[in-house]
Amino acid sequence: MRALVWTILAIATICTTTQARAQFYGPYYPVCLKVYVPGNYMDCSFTSMAQCNAAASGRAAQCYVNPYFPPHFAPRGWPRPR
């Protein structure tokens, strides 16, 4: 009887666990929009905070600075424009 209970508990535990989803931040744009309703998703396709705020207006959303946006610096040794 105990083996049956433990077997059912183990099967229920395995069936109810899901994989964790990674957070998405697109590295190509400096500003991201986090939309809460509907769907709870990230949209990293904005070039400025003002553009993102205009898209978030009237929605359950919030704008963030993209933490994975790389700064654009020219490597050393490149010629500078005159």
**Selection from 37, 35, 28 nearest residue 63 by Cα:** 35
Task: Give, in order, the Cα–Cα distances in Å from 17 to each of 12, 14, 39.
Answer: 9, 6, 21
Per the domain annotation, does 27 fall within a domain? Answer: yes
pLDDT digits (tens, 9 = 90+) for 44-77: 889 999 999 999 999 999 999 988 888 765 455 5
Q: 22 pairs with which residues across the strands? A: none
Residue 57, pLDDT score:
94
State the total domains in the chain.
1
2 assigned to some structural domain: no
> Does residue 45 lie in a domain region?
yes
In a domain, 81, yes or no: no
Sign of CA dihedral 48, 54, 57, 59: negative
- DSSP reduced 3-state for 27: coil
- The pLDDT score that the predictor gives to residue 33 is 93
In a domain, residue 32? The reply is yes
Note down the domain range covering 57.
23-70
Query: Is there a contact between 42 and 24 (Cβ–Cβ < 8 Å)?
Result: yes
Residue 40 placed within a domain:
yes
**pTM for this predicted structure:** 0.57
Token couple for 28: 């190509």
For the chain, give the mean pLDDT. 80
- Looking at the domain assignment, is residue 13 inside a domain? no
